[in-house]
A and B are shown apart, each in its own frame.
Chain A
Amino acid sequence: MTIHELITVILLVVGCFFFLAGTLGVLRFPDLFSRLHALTKADNLGLGFIAAGMAVYIASPWAALKIFFIWLFTLLASSTSCYLIARFQKEQEQTKNGKEGE
């Protein structure tokens, strides 16, 4: 096993660990906000590690750049959708509380 492959395996395993942690969080956390937190933070970090692992494995600067951009776009999209879901939920709760208060 070369040093390249070793680094790849370590990065992939770390990435899988974060994915597992994120999935566990989605399944176990009590409310929507903490679940969103688990999903968007841990999973994106995991994806980053897996992307880094693949970039090391392919070992070509062009491919590494492309993989980096994939990760960047995923980060942007997932953080935006996380924010939108959280905002929707907050508005729902506010209207619910407002109705109860009347």
Chain B
Amino acid sequence: MSVLIDGLLAILAIYLALQSLLAPRLIKSVFLFFAFGLALALAWVRLGAVDVAITEAAIASGFLGVLFLDALRDFSPAFPAKQKNPEAAHNVLVKNNTKSLLLSRIPLGLGLGLFLLIALEAVWKTPEGGGLTAAAEAFLPESGVEHPVTAVLLNFRAYDTWLEIGVILMGLLAIFAVGGIKVYRKPNMAAQDPMLRQVIMFFTPVLFLFGAFLLYFGKTGPGGAFQAAVLWGAIGILLHLGGKSIIEEIPRWLRQLILTVGILFFLVLGFLFVAGGNALFEYPRAYAGLLILIIETLAAISIAAALTAIFANLNQMKEDPNETESIN
């Protein structure tokens, strides 16, 4: 029975991925991508990796989906009913590029084949007893937390996690670098909606509480900084959509501090104990649990702020100067 469910799930995920890539209309692609993310999250749950499943559902499906929807609005300012003959445009593109497509297909195919071979080898070579699981379990009491995934992410391999926080910050910087181009014709109508306001007011504390719970629960079970950050980031995005852009309303220095405090504290802490003869990112054992909780909290705040800032910067509610002039 479970083989049947897993098989169906695998087929569903691959089918949705293909459909999302091949869909003729962008809007269809985006919504199929949502469904694909959920199928993938379910697959992670079936594999027993609940941490990954939550992150997949929250970041890959949720946050990326929101960004895709936002991008979709840019491509079609008022959601026109149909794109003008998308297939014809596609055919023209294919005809013009037949030669270059063929040329690019060969290395692409070779690369994909190589990747598949490596993946197969990795699956084949999985050591008995699940690789480093035993080692991680053995040193769990020394890590300061009780959940092996959190122990690996924030203690044994803290360097990786530190870099991941940096990657999100880099993404935000890239968006800052190219941002501010987009201007909307219409200011956001939903901002004045009383019902949306009420719902946002209701969901803000709920999301905050649930984020805090996930953050703290990361010590003993699935959860942690990234999952909590997405929920807190969702608060920022909801408030932004409701017309209250918190990230733009707080002073600039405070914004910069919030955005960088997670990565900075992590870095300082990582290097602080090098002076005492420890390895990089090695914490004193007595305080490891507390330090990890502080790192996770600050990292979650930074990531949440970065996610909110990414969305807010891509979705600025400015009135088009030309439009207002023409009305006047």
A84/B202 in contact, CB under 8 A: no
Complex CA gap A91/B195 in Å reads 16
Max chain A Cβ within 10 angstroms of own Cβ: one of B78, B199, B202, B203: B199
A76/B199 in contact, CB under 8 A: yes
Q: Is the CB of B206 closer than 8 A to any CB of chain A? A: yes
- Nearest CB in chain A: distance from B51 CB, A: 19
Which of B78, B189, B193, B202 has a CB less than 8 Å from the CB of A76? B202
A80/B189 in contact, CB under 8 A: no
B189/A73 in contact, CB under 8 A: no
Complex CA gap A46/B189 in Å reads 32
Q: How many cross-chain pairs have Cβ atoms below 8 Å apart between A and B?
A: 19
Chain A residues with Cβ below 8 Å from B193 are 84, 87
A80/B195 in contact, CB under 8 A: yes
**Given known A73-B206, A76-B202, contact A84–B78 (CB-CB < 8 A):** no
- Nearest CB in chain A: distance from B70 CB, A: 15
Q: Is the CB of B294 closer than 8 A to any CB of chain A? A: no
Chain A residues with Cβ below 8 Å from B202 are 76
**Given known A80-B196, A83-B195, contact A92–B206 (CB-CB < 8 A):** no
Chain B residues with Cβ below 8 Å from A73 are 203, 206
**Given known A76-B199, A92-B78, contact A84–B206 (CB-CB < 8 A):** no
Residues on B close to A: CB < 8 A?
A: 78-79, 189-190, 193, 195-196, 199, 202-203, 206
Question: Which 9 pairs from chain A and chain B are nearest by CB?
Answer: A80-B199, A83-B195, A84-B190, A76-B199, A84-B196, A80-B195, A80-B196, A91-B189, A76-B202
CB pairs A–B below 8 angstroms (12 shown) = A73-B203, A73-B206, A76-B199, A76-B202, A76-B203, A80-B196, A83-B195, A84-B193, A88-B189, A91-B189, A92-B78, A92-B79
